[in-house]
Structure 1
C-alpha cells in the first residue's frame, strides 16, 4: 500500500486498490493531503486525486497508460466548467488512446470540502 494513502485506509477502512487476475481496481480517490485537507483551487484538487491514483498504479507496477476506465464524481453547480478543468488536468496524466470515462454530478462526498472523487480500473495482464 502506498504509505501516503495509509491514513485513509486506517480512518475509512478501505483498500486504495485491489488487484484481480488481470486488473487493478482503484477506489475512489479525492484530492486531499494526508490530513484530509482539500486544496482551494479545483485544478489542484483534481491533480492531487490523479496523483493518488498514480501512487496506487505505481505500487502495482502499472502506469496511467494501463487505465481502461475512469469514473469521476463531482459536487458542482457548474458541471460543464468542472469538465473543462478535469479534462485539462487529466491530460497532464493520460494521453491517447482515451479510456472509458463516466462523469457524474453528485450532491456530496464523504469529505465535506471535497468536490471530486475519481475511481479507476487498470489492465495489468
Structure 2
C-alpha cells in the first residue's frame, strides 16, 4: 500500500482491522493509536503498558526511518484514574524525549479497542 507504514509482524492487524500503523501524508507521518502490547498480548500493569505503547510507536517510527526526535505531537488515552496515569506517563516521556518534548494531549476514556488495555498512544511525526 502506497504511503503506508506497516512494521513487520503487524500485517495481520492491518488485514483484520482495516487500518495501518502509520500513513505518510506530505511531510508528516501519522501514527495510529498503539496499545501497550507485545506481540498482541497486553503488558502486565499500567507502567508496562505505557512502555509497550511507546515501544510500539518507536517500531512505526523505525519502519519509516525516524526516531522519537521526529515526533511533533502525541495524544494519549487513559482508562481509569488519569491522575494515577499522568506521573507514570510523564516519566516515560522524559525517558523517550530528553531535551525535545513534543506537544501532548492526555485524555481520560472509558475503554479502548482491546479489553484490559489501559493506555493508547497516537502521534504525528515530521518527515521534513
TM-score, shorter chain, exceeding 0.5 = yes
Q: Could you tell me which residue of structure 2 aligns to residue 73 of structure 1?
A: 77
Could you list the runs of 5+ residues in structure 1 that have no partner in the other structure?
none
Shift of 1:21: 1.4
CA RMSD of aligned residues (A): 1.1
Shift of 1:39: 1.7
Cα deviation per residue 1:24-64 (whole Å; 9 max; x = unaligned)?
00000001122x32122211111111111111101111110
Shift of 1:81: 1.3
Q: TM-score, normalising length from structure 2?
A: 0.90
Q: TM-score, normalising length from structure 1?
A: 0.92
Could you list the runs of 5+ residues in structure 2 that have no partner in the other structure?
1-5
Structure number having the greater strand percentage: 2
Does 2:29 align with 1:24? yes
In 2, the alpha carbon distance for the partners of 1:95 and 1:109 equals 28
Question: How many pairs does the alignment contain?
Answer: 123
Q: Is this contact kept in 2: 1:65–1:95, CA < 8 A?
A: no
Does 2:96 align with 1:93? yes
